[in-house]
Amino acid sequence: MKTRNTFIGSLFAAALAALLVASCASTPAEKPQGLRLSAITDQDAAPAILDYAGKTPGEQERIARNYEQQPPLIPHKVEGMKLDFKTNKCLQCHDRPFYKEEGAPKIGDSHYKSREGKELDKISMARYNCNQCHVPQVNAPPLVANVFKSAKE
C-alpha cells in the first residue's frame, strides 16, 4: 500500500512540474505579433504604417492579371484618395463621364449592372467600395511566401 501511494505522489509531482514548465515557456507579452508587427499587449499598439508602392496615377504600368475575373490590382498610390459615403475619389477618374479626360482605365461594364443583370445609369452601389476588391500595393516583405502559379504556367 505504501509503495502505491508514493507512486501516485511522484506522478502528481511530475504533472505539476510539466504544467509549470509549459506556462513559463510561452510568455504572451512577447509572442503573438501578426500583421500589426508589435506585441498585442503594447500600450500603444498602433498598426505599422507601410509605404504604398506606386506613384501618381498616369505614370504606372498596369499590373498583369493572373486569372480570369480577377479584380485588377491598383498600380498607383492611393494616399489622400477619399472614399466615404459622400466622396469617392476613385470615381472622379475611373467613372464613365471622366475616364477619357483623365486617361484612366474605364470601370468594368459589369460595375454598371444590378445584381439581376439590369443595366444601370450609374455604377451599382454594390461596387461603390472599390477597395473591397481592388487593392493597392505596399513595399513590404511578404509574410508568407507566395507560390501561386497562373494556369498558363
Contacts to ligand HEC by CB under 6 A: 57-60, 62, 69, 71-72, 74-76, 78, 81, 83, 88-94, 102-108, 110-111, 123, 127-134
CB of 52 to ligand HEC, least distance (A): 10
Cβ-based burial of 146 (10 A; exposed 0-12, middle 13-18, buried ≥19): exposed
Cell of residue 148, nine digits = 501561386
Report the residue number, 53 or 75, with the smaller CB distance to ligand HEC: 75
CB of 48 to ligand HEC, least distance (A): 21
Report the residue number, 39 or 52, with the smaller CB distance to ligand HEC: 52
CB of 82 to ligand HEC, least distance (A): 9
Residue 94: Cβ within 10 Å count? 21
Query: Would you say 92 and 103 are in contact if contact means Cβ atoms under 8 Å apart?
Result: no
Q: CB nearest ligand HEC: which residue?
A: 108
CB of 35 to ligand HEC, least distance (A): 21
**Residue 5: what are its φ and ψ, rounded to 5°?**
-60, -45
C-alpha distances in Å from residue 93, one per residue of 52, 102, 108, 113, 129: 19, 6, 13, 19, 15
CB of 30 to ligand HEC, least distance (A): 37
Report the residue number, 22 or 148, with the smaller CB distance to ligand HEC: 148
Report how far Cα 28 is from the mean position of its chain's Cα atoms.
Answer: 24
Report the residue number, 3 or 67, with the smaller CB distance to ligand HEC: 67
